[in-house]
Amino acid sequence: MRTNEIALPNIEGVKVQLSFLGRIFGFGTVQIEGTGVDRVITPHIADPVGFVRAIQTAKEHLAAL
């Protein structure tokens, strides 16, 4: 199994890719782009929109520190 890590401050962009069935059943792919790192693409995950929201919330909290 291969793993990739991007530090939260290094995340520059996050994109969600949902197919028609993914919209209906709540699964999709998330593409994360970071500084100095190639993009990281998740396999199909449940609630990708919620995952992106969690990343955005964490980045906001980090910026507030």
Is 1 a domain residue? no
From CA 20, how far away is CA 11, in angstroms rounded? 27
How far the first Cα of the chain sits from its last, in Å, is 35
- 41 Cβ neighbours under 8 A, 6+ residues apart: 29, 30, 31, 32
Is 46 a domain residue? yes
Domains identified in the chain, total number: 1
Is 49 a domain residue? yes
Is 21 a domain residue? yes
Q: Which domain, by its residues, includes 29?
A: 11-64
> Residue 5 in 3-state DSSP?
coil
Note the pLDDT of residue 17: 96
Blockwise average pLDDT, block size 10, the chain, 65 residues: 85 95 96 87 94 95 88
- Cβ atoms of residues 61 and 51 within 8 Å: no
**Model pTM score:** 0.85
Nearest CA among 34, 65, 29 for reference residue 49: 29
Is 5 a domain residue? no
